[in-house]
Amino acid sequence: MNVAFPYHLDACGQTATADAGEHIREMLEQLLLTSPGERVNRPDFGCGVRDLLFGPSSPEVAAALRVTIGSAIQRWLGDLIAIDSLEVTARDSELDVQLAYAIRATGQTGRTAVILAAGG
């Protein structure tokens, strides 16, 4: 059973669940949106993507984020997914992360996109 993220109750008043593909997509979003030091029992969990959001945007920043995100995914979710493609685009005060992956257990492919805007 995979608990849905963010935590909420379903129509029956029980803990909502997610299928395997949805659960992996939710874990990816949690990893991308968590800053290191944010979790008490796992202070090294996360990507730190938001830390670079207010800095200058450039192709170099986008390249650095690709490496940072790819490393974090490999470390925390590498046993569950294989990255097919990872694109990071930095524009003004917005970061656009596009990720395509394959679920190792099933071979099923998935995609997720996260757009972070300054102040968001």
95 within 8 A of 49, measured Cβ to Cβ: yes
10-residue mean pLDDT profile of the chain (120 residues): values are 86 91 90 90 87 70 87 95 92 84 93 76
List of domains in the chain: 20-117 (3.10.450.40)
CB atoms near residue 55 (< 10 Å): 10
Nearest to 91 by CA among 70, 112, 61: 61
pTM over 0.85: no
pLDDT of residue 15: 93
pLDDT of residue 55: 66
Q: What CA–CA distance (Å, rounded) separates 69 from 100?
A: 13
Number of residues that this document lists for the chain = 120
pLDDT of residue 21: 87
pLDDT of residue 114: 86
pLDDT of residue 71: 94
Q: What CA–CA distance (Å, rounded) separates 94 from 118?
A: 6
pLDDT of residue 90: 78
pLDDT of residue 33: 86
pLDDT of residue 75: 95
